[in-house]
Amino acid sequence: MERRKSGIVRTSGSTYFRTVDYYLIVPVVLLTIIGIYVLNQVLKDGYEAYPGNLYRQAFAAVLGISIALIICLLDTHFMKLVGWAIYIVALFLLLLVPIDGFTLEDTWGADSWLNLPVVGTFQPSELAKIGLVMVVADVFEKMHLKEISPLKGLGLIALIYGPPLLLIASQPDFGTAMVILFSFVCIVFVWGFKYRYFFLAVSSVIVFGIPLVWSFYLEDYQKKRILSLVFEGSDPQAEYNLIQSKAAIASGGLSGNNTGVVITVPVKESDFVFAAISEHLGFIGTTAVIILAFFFLARCLYVASKSTRPAYSYIIVGLTAAFAFHYIENMGMAVGLLPITGIPLPFISLGGTALLVNYISFGIILNIAMQRKLAT
């Protein structure tokens, strides 16, 4: 193994393939293949952009895998610069969102997208999730090693999180804001926040934060979606989506719906893709997706526990927490256990840029896993 000044780690072909963590690669590739298959079944039924949208998704998957494998070649010490680069680019793009003249607020309820040349629609908050985790991991490590005081460290973290989180909240993109906060809480928990302070902070958020968010931040349609979980009739549109989602899930049976009757589910290709998986692959397909997602997340946490530096553990925990939030929320809302949001299913939902960002996160995790093996 040879490290170059460019930050690229030079390894022989045999060393590269020996150090790749296939326990991470296999579930991600299988989830992507399942996603392409299910999206083909969904998109060919009445989508005017078919098959172009499917080809773009497949191209994004191939490009994403390639990017992830290239990221594996970067020296982990060089990843700090990569993290800052992602953070700065994401912050710049977030500043452009409200002034670029492009909006999908009437369609999706939030102005969270840019319309970029060649790329098309892009959500900068997806990049912010990665940049934030990578940048603050170094601060948490310095606090862990007592190189800086907790007070100074938390102040730096507040300065890092503040601008992008405020910009995301102002869009308003409540779902992504929750992903970022959940990821942050998980890093704090692993860093070593004392349990009594941790639960005191959580209790304070529940007692004071939730009422404030409910009263001054959430839009009426978001409140209705939450209330519809408990009070029937609070949000007829959300309840219609959920009824159709459950019908599609039930129609799948053991191995998929072979009757030829297609259940109409809004945004079946993205937000409610889990219902499409059940409809076309049945109980076997949904169980396979759940097992693959669980195995992937568990393997990520195992790699985090064996990392050579605390910062690497914090990065993996933060990125894994974001993945976990997406899986739990997307599957939970499809069966009526959680509020309906615009949270996609990683590696499966339609969306080329989201898929690429998923693979960037995956590449960073894979990089740390490989460098751990090279160091031993």
299 and 319 Cβ atoms separated by less than 8 Å: no
Look at residue 1 in the predicted model and tell me its pLDDT: 47
The length of the chain is 376
DSSP state of 258: -
- The pLDDT, as a whole number, for residue 99 is 80
Tell me the average confidence (pLDDT) per consecutive run of 10 residues in the chain, 376 residues long: 51 68 94 95 83 90 92 82 93 86 60 70 88 94 91 91 89 85 91 69 66 66 68 68 91 87 87 94 96 97 91 95 96 89 91 90 93 67
Tokens of 244: 């159709």
Do residues 359 and 306 touch, judged by C-beta distance below 8 A? no
Beta bridge partners of 168: none
> Is 0.75 topped by the overall pTM?
yes
- List the structure tokens of 85: 């680069």
Instruction: Name the phi and psi angles at 122, rounded to 5.
Output: -145, 140
- Cα–Cα dist 115/101, whole Å: 9
Burial of residue 188 (CB within 10 Å: 0-12, 13-18, 19+) is: buried
Q: Of 350, 355, 345, which is closest to residue 65 (Cα–Cα)?
A: 355
Q: Output the DSSP codes for 180-236.
A: HHHHHHHHHHHHT--HHHHHHHHHHIIIIIHHHHHHHTS-HHHHHHHHTTTSTTS-H
Tokens linked to 326: 């997406």
Written as one letter, the residue type at 42 is V
Query: What pLDDT score was predicted for residue 118?
Result: 66
